[in-house]
Copies of this chain bind each other. A is one copy, B any other.
């Protein structure tokens, strides 16, 4: 038997009830929190263990205080990050992944590592692309 139907893993049509390809599906918002400019790096950083705000800020090089705070709020609200405030003086706040957050972060970090490992090819592709454009 042959079939041109895509493997279920590769098809969104067969995947009720959430579909990130649909504009109004709530999964699209979560996809954006997770993969947005800072979401992916924040999740990746927390994959190594819990971190305080300023530790995270150093790890996710270049993120502003405001953006990191917004990113953490969105991830916390989605149930991916847990914020733990210790009753110390001054108060100490740790951020860590929830079990669901860890599952998501593992996938994000695997993507980050794959891209890092592929950068020689990517940079070569960019060079060819730019050279071809320059030659036009």
- Residues in chain A within 8 A of chain B (CB atoms): 6, 9-12, 15, 18-23, 26-27, 30-32, 34-37, 40-41, 44-45, 47-49, 59-62, 76-80, 100, 103-104, 107-119, 121-126, 128-130
Contact B78 A104 (CB under 8 A): no
Q: How far is the CA of A8 from the CA of B68 in the complex (A)?
A: 26
Interface residues of A, dominant DSSP:
helix
B contact residues around A15 at 8 Å (CB): 113, 116-117
CB contact between A59 and one of B21, B60, B129 (< 8 Å): that residue:
B21
Contact A79 B21, beta carbon cutoff 8 Å = no
Q: Knowing A15-B113, A79-B125 are in contact, say whether A107-B104 is a contact too (CB < 8 A).
A: no
Instruction: Please report the C-alpha to C-alpha distance between residue A119 and residue B20 in the assembled complex, in whole angstroms.
Output: 10
